[in-house]
Amino acid sequence: MMKFVGGLVIFCFIFLGVAYSFAKEIPYTLDDRDRLIRVEEGLKGVNQRIDSLDKRIDSLDKRIDSLDKRIDGLQGLMYVVIGAIIAQTLAVVGFSLWDRRSTLMPLTRKTKELEEFIESTKKETQEIKEREIALENVMREYAKQEPKLYEVLKTLRLL
């Protein structure tokens, strides 16, 4: 019970102290009024500066937007130019391949004709050599029977 009474007494002191502090009246003087007016004037100046900063930020936003549009335009132009360069490069490569093929085709045809001519010439040369050998053999055999022919072939160093 003593605790209850002690707690009640402490509660009363606290309650009375708080009530007394609320009961005080703070006098409002002319100095307070002047200070309040100066603070309000200062706030008006700060508000004006904030408004001017907002306007500057808005103008910067507009400039950034216009720069974005210009960059987008330049980017589109770059895509077009790069596409044109790639198209020209492919066209030049295609033309050079086509031109090379069309230039080489007559050369390959002529080369084949020359190879065929060389082959036929080799065959003819081989046939002529075989005939020459056969004729030499015939003349040697006939020279054995004819002494005049033998002498002629010997002077020409064919025997």
pLDDT at 62: 95
Q: How confident is the model at residue 27 (pLDDT cuts 50, 70, 90)?
A: confident
Segment 136-143 mean pLDDT? 88
pLDDT at 4: 72
pLDDT at 22: 54
pLDDT at 68: 95
Segment 27-31 mean pLDDT? 80
SS3 1: coil
Residue 104 has pLDDT above 90, yes or no: no
Segment 79-89 mean pLDDT? 97
Give the burial string for 131-157 (b: 16+ CB within 10 Å, else e).
eeeeeeeebeeebeeeeeebeebeeee
Average pLDDT of the chain is 87
Identify the residue whose tokens are 């075989």. 130
Within 8 A by CB and 6+ apart from 140, the residues are 153, 159
Residue range 33-52, pLDDT digits in tens? 888 899 999 999 999 999 99
Segment 112-134 mean pLDDT? 94
Contact 99, 107 (CB under 8 A): no
What is the pTM assigned to this prediction?
0.43
Using CA atoms, how far apart are residues 100 and 118, in angstroms rounded to an integer?
Answer: 26
Contact 128, 114 (CB under 8 A): no
Q: What stretches of the chain show up as alpha helix (H) in DSSP?
A: 2-23, 30-145, 147-155
Is 27 or 98 the better-scoring residue by pLDDT?
98
Residue range 47-82, pLDDT digits in tens? 999 999 999 999 999 999 999 999 999 999 999 999
